[in-house]
Amino acid sequence: MKRTAGKLADGREIIYFDDSPDAPPRVAVDTRDLPRTRPLSEVRRDPLTGEWVAMAAHRQTRTYKPPADLCPLCPSTPDMPTEVPEADYDVVVFENRFPSFAPDVPELPSTVDGMPMVARAAGRGRCEVVCFTSDHTTSFGSLPVSRVRTVVDAWADRTTALNAVPGVEQVFPFENRGEEIGVTLHHPHGQIYGYPFVTPRTERMLAVAADHLSAHGTHLMGDVLAAERAAGARVVGSSEHWTAYVPAAARWPVEVHVVPHRQVPDLPALTAAERDDFAHLYLSVLHRLDALYQRPLPYIAAWHQAPARVGRDLAWLHLEVFSVLRTADKLKYLAGSESGMGVWVNDATPEQIAERLRG
């Protein structure tokens, strides 16, 4: 892989990750006349739950479902400069022009007016866009193994870099696919968030893992993985270094966890062999997901990594892929129980989901 860093017209960083070390130089200049962005992100703590809520009103003006010939993630042409100045690319990462979190947001009062119980802070962090290919019409599941491997290296590179950004507490690479998920740009891409706090889901998982370690002396995810592999009923696919399975308490109508056999805190800790192996298994999983309803499956692919500074001995890297599609033409809506109380009701058992995916 070849890595080349540069700057866009408004000062944002852009980084090219080429499949081959012999790729041509990335020297194209962003010719657009762009003003520097001034994000106004902030976070407020919910006094009833203790959870942070991010607010980024400037994102209301972000690009929304442009036609293919105006896609800002495609390579630039003489008549259409985009976010990527080059005429072609393999994988590219750049700072989001409409970030939920940013490194240079202004200071704010420490509480909300008249409510000392509601803590408030600048939404300092970093948000990046990851374009998986220059081909607007393809998908992650259609990429060659070699390209998926480059993407993994890019995720690992950015995790290391964002973990070192002052104020960033957790790095979250993810992909949203499909309009049913809320995607507004159809070019194959994902994002990486550098949060200024440890997310509620991760805090909860680390607390449960700590309790399990104290009670049993073993890693919780390791015990879950061993049990899933032994039972086999929910396993969708496996390889030398990874296993993909539907979790025994799956929340979503389609949900698969892809877990390394070795306890590692995050993507940078994976060996070259583990990264190669993941690329093969993950493509197999995505092919099964698209075959489930004989249509492109809308999904979210979310990497669970250790926070930058806490819980790294408890975390076990894994990828969670899930979909809101419960049949070929019906969505799973998060209604009263899920949205109001956080209690999930699934319309299928994990064993049924796994059997359909294996088939």
Shared domain check, 41 and 146: yes
Each residue of 137-153: pLDDT tens digit?
Answer: 999 999 999 999 999 99
**Helix or strand run (H / E) with residue 3:** strand 2-7
Shared domain check, 182 and 54: yes
Domains held by the chain: number: 2
Q: Which one of 144, 171, 197 terminates a domain?
A: 197
Each residue of 13-65: pLDDT tens digit?
Answer: 999 999 999 999 999 999 999 988 788 899 999 999 999 999 986 555 555 55
Of 160, 187, 163, nearest to 175 (Cα)?
Answer: 187
**Owning domain of residue 94:** 2-197
* Mean residue pLDDT across the chain: 95
Residue 156: band (very low, low, confident or very high) from pLDDT cuts 50, 70, 90: very high
For residue 199, what pLDDT is reported?
97
Shared domain check, 314 and 218: yes
Give the pair of three-digit tokens for residue 75: 């390579």
**Inter-CA distances, 3 with 14, 266, 267, Å:** 11, 20, 17
Quick check: 155 and 192 in contact, CB under 8 A?
A: yes
Catalytic residue set: 189
> Residue 268 CB: number of other CB atoms within 10 A?
18
Shared domain check, 138 and 63: yes
Shared domain check, 164 and 20: yes
With a pLDDT cut of 90, the percent of the chain lying above it is: 90
Reduced to 3 states (helix: H, G, I; strand: E, B; else coil), residue 237 is: strand
Sort strands 52-55 and 115-122 into parallel, antiparallel or unpaired: unpaired
Each residue of 327-353: pLDDT tens digit?
Answer: 999 999 988 999 999 999 998 999 999
Each residue of 196-238: pLDDT tens digit?
Answer: 999 999 999 999 999 999 999 999 999 999 999 999 999 999 9
Shared domain check, 206 and 176: no
Separation between Cα atoms, residue 298 and residue 192, nearest integer Å: 19
Each residue of 228-251: pLDDT tens digit?
Answer: 999 999 999 999 999 999 999 999
> Taking the mean position of all CA atoms in its chain, how far away is CA 77?
29
Quick check: 254 and 353 in contact, CB under 8 A?
A: yes
Reduced to 3 states (helix: H, G, I; strand: E, B; else coil), residue 54 is: strand
Shared domain check, 155 and 87: yes
Q: Which one of 145, 170, 197 terminates a domain?
A: 197
Averaged pLDDT for residues 107-122 = 94
Q: Which one of 148, 165, 197 terminates a domain?
A: 197
Read off the amino acid at residue 130. V
Separation between Cα atoms, residue 300 and residue 178, nearest integer Å: 9
For residue 38, what pLDDT is reported?
80
Residue 10: band (very low, low, confident or very high) from pLDDT cuts 50, 70, 90: very high
Shared domain check, 208 and 188: no
Averaged pLDDT for residues 119-135 = 96
For residue 64, what pLDDT is reported?
52
For residue 29, what pLDDT is reported?
97
**Helix or strand run (H / E) with residue 45:** strand 42-45
Return the CATH number at 344: 3.30.428.10
Its pTM stands at: 0.95
Averaged pLDDT for residues 279-299 = 97
For residue 65, what pLDDT is reported?
59
Quick check: 92 and 26 in contact, CB under 8 A?
A: no
pLDDT at 164 over 90: yes
Residue 66 vs residue 113, higher pLDDT: 113
